[in-house]
Structure 1
Amino acid sequence: MKLISYVHLGEARFGAAVEGGIVDLTGLGGVETLREAIAADMAEEIADYLEGRAAELSFSNVTFLPVIPDPAKVLCIGVNYAEHKAETGRPDVEHPTVFTRFADTLLGHRQPLVKPHFSNRFDLEGELAVIVGRGGRNIPEDRALEHVAGYACFNDGSVRDWQRHTGQFTPGKNFPASGGFGPWMLTADEVEDYRTLPITSRLNGKVMQEATLADLIFPLERLIAYCSTFTALAPGDVIATGTPGGVGDKRVPPVYMGPGDLAEVDLGPVGTLVNPVIGEDDL
Structure 2
Amino acid sequence: MRLISFRNQSKTRIGVIKEDKILDVQALHEKYKNQISVDSFEFPTDLKQLIEMNEKSIPYVEQLIESHGRENLDHSFSLSEVEIMAPISQPEKIICVGLNYLDHCKETGLEPPLSPVIFSKYANAIIGEKEAIEIPVNSEQVDFEAELVVVIGKEAKRITEEEAAEYIFGYTIMNDVSARDHQFSDGQWTRGKSADTFAPIGPAIVTKGQVVDPHNLDISLKLNGEVMQQSNTKNLIFRIPYIVSYLSQSMTLKPGDLIATGTPPGVGMGREPKVWLKDGDRVSITIENIGTLSNTVEKVRVTQKT
Q: Normalising TM by the smaller chain, what interval? A: over 0.9
- Any residues of structure 2 matched to 1:53-132 within 5 Å, and which? 54=73, 56-132=76-152
2:39 equivalent in structure 1: none
Contact 1:133 1:235 in 2 (8 A): yes
Gaps of 5+ in 1: none
Contact 2:130 2:296 in 1 (8 A): yes
2:12 equivalent in structure 1: 12
2-side partners of 1:269 and 1:136: how far apart?
A: 26
1:193-213 per-residue CA deviation (whole Å, 9 max, x = no partner) reads 111111001101111111111
Q: Does 1:145 align with 2:165?
A: yes
The residue identity in structure 1 corresponding to 2:51 is: I
Q: Does 1:155 align with 2:175?
A: yes
Residue of 190, 194, 197 corresponding to 1:177: 197
1-side partners of 2:4 and 2:154: how far apart?
A: 19
Q: TM-score when scaled to structure 2?
A: 0.89
1-side partners of 2:114 and 2:272: how far apart?
A: 30
Q: Does 1:194 align with 2:214?
A: yes
2-side partners of 1:251 and 1:279: how far apart?
A: 22
Q: CA deviation at 1:282?
A: 8.4
Q: Does 1:30 align with 2:43?
A: yes
- Count of residue pairs brought into register by the alignment: 283
2-side partners of 1:39 and 1:204: how far apart?
A: 37
Percent identity between the two aligned chains = 34
Q: Does 1:21 align with 2:33?
A: no
2:58 equivalent in structure 1: 43
3-state SS, counterpart of residue 230 of structure 1: coil
Residue of 282, 285, 288 corresponding to 1:262: 282
Contact 1:26 1:33 in 2 (8 A): no
Q: Does 1:236 align with 2:256?
A: yes
1:29-87 per-residue CA deviation (whole Å, 9 max, x = no partner) reads 52101111111112211111112154612222222221211211110111100000111
Q: CA deviation at 1:280?
A: 1.0
2-side partners of 1:67 and 1:170: how far apart?
A: 23
1-side partners of 2:228 and 2:128: how far apart?
A: 21
- Any residues of structure 2 matched to 1:199-214 within 5 Å, and which? 199-214=219-234
Whichever of the two has the greater Rg, that structure is 2
3-state SS, counterpart of residue 252 of structure 1: coil
Alignment RMSD: 1.5
1-side partners of 2:44 and 2:157: how far apart?
A: 25
Q: CA deviation at 1:12?
A: 2.1
